[in-house]
Amino acid sequence: MCGIAGWINWREDLSEQTEILKKMTDSIIHRGPDADGYFMSNKAALGHRRLIVIDPDGGRQPMLYQKNSYTIALTYNGELYNYQELRKELEEKGHIFSTASDTEVLLHSYLEWQEDCLNRLNGIFAFGIWDEEKDQLLLGRDHLGVKPLFYTQVGDSIIFGSEIKVLLSHPQVEAKVNAEGLAEIFALGPMRTPGNGVFKNIKEVRAGHYITFNSAGSKNQRYWQLESKLHDDDVKQTEEKIRSLLKDTVHKQLVSDVPLVSMLSGGLDSSGLTALAGTEYKKEGKTLHTYSIDFVNNDKDFEEDFLRRDLDEPWVKKVAEYVGTDHHSIVFGADKLIENLLVPMRARDLPGVGELETSLYLLFTEMKKEATVDLSGESADEVFSGYPWFHQEKFLDADVFPWLLNLGYLTNILSPEMKQKIQPEEYRRRRFQEALDEVPFLEGETGMQRKQRQMSYMFITRFLPFMLDRKDRASMMTGFEVRVPFCDYRLVEYLWNVPYEVKSIDNIEKGILRRAFAGILPDDVRNRRKSAYPSTKDQAYLNGISNLMLHVLDDPESPILPLIDGAEVRLAAEGKNEHITGTAARGLLDYLLQINAWLKEYHIVIE
């Protein structure tokens, strides 16, 4: 897992632009603290920061291949879980390998199949390939968008990188945000429209897509998408298929030349993966290490709501003992969360969800002390339709993204000028309609089946990218790789066509997954109702961020002031806004503090 950077120009000589490329690459040193590498030529400059996971000696990048008098150069971030199978196939076709890395397998896959190589990859990846013979740049991204990849075109230059900060490190790229970018922040925030980089002229390669660039222009191609068809397997066959896919996926994702651990919340998803991984480790005579997060006084401050029904720690201990892991419970207080509040924003180059990201970053920081790779249960709720929204008419019938129905207060605190500028309600409806137009409905589906397929599509293509962004930036900020087995595209493809009534069999969310884990987890763990990622309920945290917000409001130089209704926000910070209290107040203040710091630290020019 690494960080990549690149600059292509068909008219200027880039061979002497090492200083600029190094600045771009160094901006993401956190993604690859172990090594760096550069490739310079007349038209191309590629950079790489490496986090060593597989083949420490052989996986150096950018990796080059000489074809006649031409060079093909690859800079790549990710892991190919089927690289050993691909290598065998390529060797049978006559390819000769000099390393044991998946990087070389990706390079030779391109040599053999060109852009079609993407259809053969199973993994999480983002890469750039400069092909001198074709005078072409290829940018490719994995099926679900686990690994990030941004780009911009400035004049004759194509500039790309793993994070937005790579692009902003180039002297030709300006930190400008127009009305559309502001609408992304205030109307959709912190979710984004796929492909939209918020900053003016900055885009991202969409999940399941690749883009080719040459001197004549560019071509954006989709190589993978969800396809709707009848699900012919009965319940037992579905259960067995899911179990088989998960076992194979976890087996493949345990390959690592550095220490690997697992996140464990005591919930169904992480517990199931931990059990599968722990079984594999036991076969090799090893003990899996697991990690969970908790907060000071959480047992006293805990508040039950529709997404969090009970405390994690009792369940964590039960699963750790059952699987036989060496468990580590990491506990944070409000002071630590406030101290690191802005780190995730700097990692994402965009405002995020505050404390929920901060605690994740702090957890990964602790995990990094003992390991480099982690398994996470992220995305199970999206692909198994596990959220309460999937069966509640209020959300199924909404004409906006369901997660925005409870975020109306974000629009209410905007200044009149901002509301006029970005038209938040209209922007939400337009983006929702764009997503709706993409849904591959199945002919003959009933009204409810259509609604649930629609909901599933929204979560996989609009909500899940945010969750994956959050995990990638929080982990890679510490030079730590997170693998997400539930994002294996084979599993996602299969589940896409499993009817909701099968997914929720036994009248419980993710019922089919619970059945698939029978005999793998204790029954009470399998039947524990969903409990979302934990957050602190310590009043000290709300007091702390409220005071920070009041300081922002009192500072006439605060860049966020022209964008918001200061009086409304002040009431929320003082605990006097009857419409914004508790969790909503924490979320709002977290977000506004990040927006203010983002505008200031990134020297953003608003157009």
Residues 213-262 have pLDDT tens digits of 999 999 999 999 999 999 999 999 999 999 999 999 999 999 998 899 99
Q: Is 0.85 surpassed by the pTM of this model?
A: yes
- DSSP lists the bridge partners of residue 151 as 160, 203
Asked whether the predicted pLDDT for residue 92 surpasses 80, the reply is: yes
353-377 pLDDT tens trace: 889 899 999 999 999 999 999 999 9
510-525 pLDDT tens trace: 999 999 999 999 999 9
SS3 state at 268: helix
Asked whether the predicted pLDDT for residue 533 surpasses 90, the reply is: no
- Average pLDDT on 49-53 reads 90
Asked whether the predicted pLDDT for residue 542 surpasses 70, the reply is: yes
Look up 487 and say whether it is catalytic. Answer: no
When the pLDDT of each residue in the chain is averaged and rounded to a whole number, the result is 95
Select, from the ranges 159-168, 438-447, 530-539, the one with the highest average predicted confidence (pLDDT). Answer: 159-168
Distance CA 350, CA 276 (A): 35
Give domain limits for the chain: 2-175+204-222, 235-400+427-526, 539-606
User: What's the Cα-to-Cα distance from 179 to each of 134, 184, 420, 485, 592, rounded to whole Å?
Assistant: 38, 9, 10, 37, 18
Catalytic option among 1, 2, 80, 593: 2
Confidence of residue 29 (pLDDT cuts 50, 70, 90): very high
Q: Which helix or strand (DSSP H or E) is residue 153 part of? A: strand 150-154
Asked whether the predicted pLDDT for residue 148 surpasses 80, the reply is: yes
Distance CA 377, CA 375 (A): 7
Give the alpha-carbon dihedral of 17, 20, 22, 25, to 10 degrees: -130
Give the number of residues written for the chain: 607
Identify which has the larger pLDDT, 252 or 392.
252
Strand ranges for 194-349 from DSSP E: 202-204, 209-214, 217-222, 260-263, 289-295, 326-332
Asked whether the predicted pLDDT for residue 42 surpasses 80, the reply is: yes
> For 2-175+204-222, which CATH class?
alpha beta
Using DSSP, how many helices (H) and how many strands (E) does the chain show? Answer: 26, 19
User: For residue 268, what pLDDT is reported?
Assistant: 97
Phi then psi dihedrals of residue 453, to 5 deg: -65, -40
- Average pLDDT on 61-71 reads 94
User: For residue 307, what pLDDT is reported?
Assistant: 64
User: For residue 350, what pLDDT is reported?
Assistant: 97
The answer to whether 528 touches 266, Cβ cutoff 8 Å, is: yes
Asked whether the predicted pLDDT for residue 583 surpasses 90, the reply is: no
User: For residue 306, what pLDDT is reported?
Assistant: 60
User: For residue 406, what pLDDT is reported?
Assistant: 79
Tell which residue, 375, 395, 371, 412, has the closest CA to residue 454.
Answer: 395
User: For residue 328, what pLDDT is reported?
Assistant: 97
Sheet with 150-154, edge to edge strand ranges = 35-40, 44-50, 2-9, 157-161, 150-154, 202-204
Distance CA 552, CA 599 (A): 12
β-pairing, 289-295 with 63-67?
unpaired
In the chain, % of residues over pLDDT 70: 99
Distance CA 365, CA 133 (A): 43
User: For residue 363, what pLDDT is reported?
Assistant: 97
420-442 pLDDT tens trace: 999 999 999 999 999 999 999 99
Identify which has the larger pLDDT, 469 or 581.
469
User: What's the Cα-to-Cα distance from 354 to each of 215, 240, 536, rounded to whole Å?
Assistant: 42, 39, 12
- DSSP lists the bridge partners of residue 370 as none
The answer to whether 9 touches 157, Cβ cutoff 8 Å, is: yes
User: For residue 97, what pLDDT is reported?
Assistant: 97
User: For residue 411, what pLDDT is reported?
Assistant: 87
Distance CA 571, CA 573 (A): 5
User: For residue 278, what pLDDT is reported?
Assistant: 97
Distance CA 162, CA 141 (A): 11
Tell which residue, 92, 118, 93, 90, has the closest CA to residue 104.
Answer: 90
SS3 state at 401: coil
- Average pLDDT on 77-92 reads 97
Identify which has the larger pLDDT, 564 or 393.
564
For 235-400+427-526, which CATH superfamily applies? HUPs (3.40.50.620)
User: For residue 305, what pLDDT is reported?
Assistant: 65
User: For residue 225, what pLDDT is reported?
Assistant: 97
- Average pLDDT on 165-187 reads 98
In the chain, % of residues over pLDDT 90: 87
CB neighbours of residue 429 within 10 Å:
15
User: For residue 311, what pLDDT is reported?
Assistant: 86
User: For residue 373, what pLDDT is reported?
Assistant: 95
The answer to whether 384 touches 502, Cβ cutoff 8 Å, is: no
